[in-house]
């Protein structure tokens, strides 16, 4: 296929995508919403939300930009389905799940505000008051700095990040995907509260685990008297003598991480949920150095077997969601508006 035909096909696909968004996704105030989206994509820097109405792509009066937010509605399930259809069928795709904060330090009328850690200039872990949004994004490449969001949800005061993430994942899986999803999360999701609800679903899950975890093996067959045991022998991350022989072990040289050793143990569970069984992978990198990197512990569960090397590579798709947050905030001005209603904030997500 020559370059010209390839470009033409891409443009036609983009035109079709925009038409579906206009016809099926945008419900109320669709014209104002559509032009507001085009104004955002034009790439101009703005100092305040009303400046978007000055864009050459926004053909309406300035107050229509507020109409797009105040009255605009979207078919969220159709939007998630449309986004998921953009991924290549009959393959495996890795999706990263994480949260980010929209700061509202002086808001008086917004609801569901949290005090959340958020890095700022000069301060690595500052606490800010704002909305927390959970984002599920497709990450095409582990070393990239871009991720395409498929689902974005604001966390309510009666919810936890894990509850919101599980809801987003189950909603995506309800779309009857033509590809196999792998969901990757950091240490916030490394517990039975996240792994348990997903254990019987058609997906794979990889999460980071705290380095001080205590897990347990299968208790074995019933002894015939007393209450059946829920837990077998302990598996303490800080006590190598409790590990035993791994179910898989491999060593290889990686371009980025140097000498790597992976060890995997199967059929482990936590104390609070013996029914949620998963595998644990210990990743040690830069073993050629006198001072190697700190070991990384991962939890993994899937309906079929995958080797430890593949799981470890999947985990490195987690990071690109971070620069994608910065892109949406800095270049698409996601957190620029100062609304008086939390529901209006959701319109911009």
Q: Which of 42-56, 101-115, 296-310 bottoms out in mean pLDDT, i.e. has the lowest?
A: 42-56
Strands 204-208 and 180-185: parallel
What is the Cα Rg of the chain in Å? 23
Contact (Cβ atoms closer than 8 angstroms) between residue 84 and residue 127: no
Contacts of residue 340, Cβ cutoff 8 Å, sequence gap at least 6 = 109, 110
Closest CA to 182 of 268, 302, 267: 302
Q: How far apart are CA 65 and CA 53, in angstroms?
A: 6
- Domains in the chain: boundaries: 1-74, 205-317
**Global confidence as pTM:** 0.91
pLDDT digit string (tens) for 84-137?
Answer: 888 888 789 999 999 999 999 888 899 999 888 876 665 666 788 999 999 999
DSSP state of 261: E
In 3D space, the residue among 60, 74, 81, 154 whose CA is nearest the CA of residue 112 turns out to be 154
Over residues 333-343, the mean pLDDT reads 87
| pLDDT single digits (tens) 172-231 | 999 888 899 999 999 999 999 999 999 999 999 999 999 999 999 998 887 777 788 889
* Residue 65: per-residue pLDDT: 87
Query: In the prediction, which pLDDT does 280 show?
Result: 98
Beta 234-236 vs 214-217: how paired, if at all? Answer: antiparallel
For residues 276 and 266, the answer to whether their CB atoms sit within 8 Å is no
Which of 78-92, 240-254, 303-317 has the least mean pLDDT?
78-92
CA distances from 59 to 31, 35, 37, 70, 191 (A): 10, 7, 12, 18, 50
Beta-bridged to residue 265, according to DSSP, are 280
Q: What is the mean pLDDT of the chain?
A: 90
pLDDT of residue 16: 92
Name the residue with higher pLDDT: 143 or 2: 143
């Amino acid at each position: 296929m020559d370059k010209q035909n390839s470009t033409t096909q891409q443009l036609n696909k983009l035109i079709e995508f925009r038409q579906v968004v206009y016809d099926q996704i945008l419900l109320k105030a669709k014209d104002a919403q559509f032009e507001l989206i085009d104004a955002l994509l034009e790439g101009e820097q703005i100092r305040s939300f009303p400046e978007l109405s000055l864009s050459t792509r926004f053909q309406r009066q300035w107050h229509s930009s507020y109409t797009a937010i105040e009255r605009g509605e979207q078919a969220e399930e159709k939007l998630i389905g449309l986004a998921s259809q953009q991924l290549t069928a009959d393959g495996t795709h890795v999706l990263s799940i994480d949260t980010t904060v929209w700061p509202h330090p002086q808001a008086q009328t917004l609801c569901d505000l949290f005090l959340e850690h958020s890095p700022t200039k000069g301060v690595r872990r500052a606490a800010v008051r704002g909305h927390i949004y959970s984002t599920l994004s497709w990450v095409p490449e582990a070393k990239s700095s871009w991720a395409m969001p498929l689902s974005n949800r604001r966390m309510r005061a009666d919810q936890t990040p894990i509850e919101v993430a599980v809801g987003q994942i189950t909603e995506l899986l309800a779309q009857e995907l033509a590809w196999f999803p792998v969901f990757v999360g950091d240490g916030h999701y490394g517990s039975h509260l996240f792994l348990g609800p997903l254990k019987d679903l058609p997906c794979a899950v990889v999460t980071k685990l705290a380095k001080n975890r205590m897990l347990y093996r299968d208790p074995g067959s019933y002894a015939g008297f007393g209450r059946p045991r829920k837990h077998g022998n302990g598996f303490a991350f800080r006590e190598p003598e409790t590990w035993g022989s791994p179910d898989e072990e491999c060593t290889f040289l990686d371009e980025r991480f140097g000498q790597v050793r992976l060890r995997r143990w199967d059929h482990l569970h936590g104390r609070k949920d013996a029914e949620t069984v998963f595998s644990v992978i210990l990743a040690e990198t830069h073993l050629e150095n006198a001072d190697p990197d700190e070991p990384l512990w991962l939890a993994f569960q899937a309906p079929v077997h995958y080797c430890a090397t593949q799981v470890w590579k999947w985990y490195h798709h987690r990071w690109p969601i971070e620069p994608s947050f910065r892109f949406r905030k800095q270049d698409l001005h996601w957190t620029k508006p100062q609304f008086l209603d939390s529901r209006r904030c959701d319109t911009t997500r």
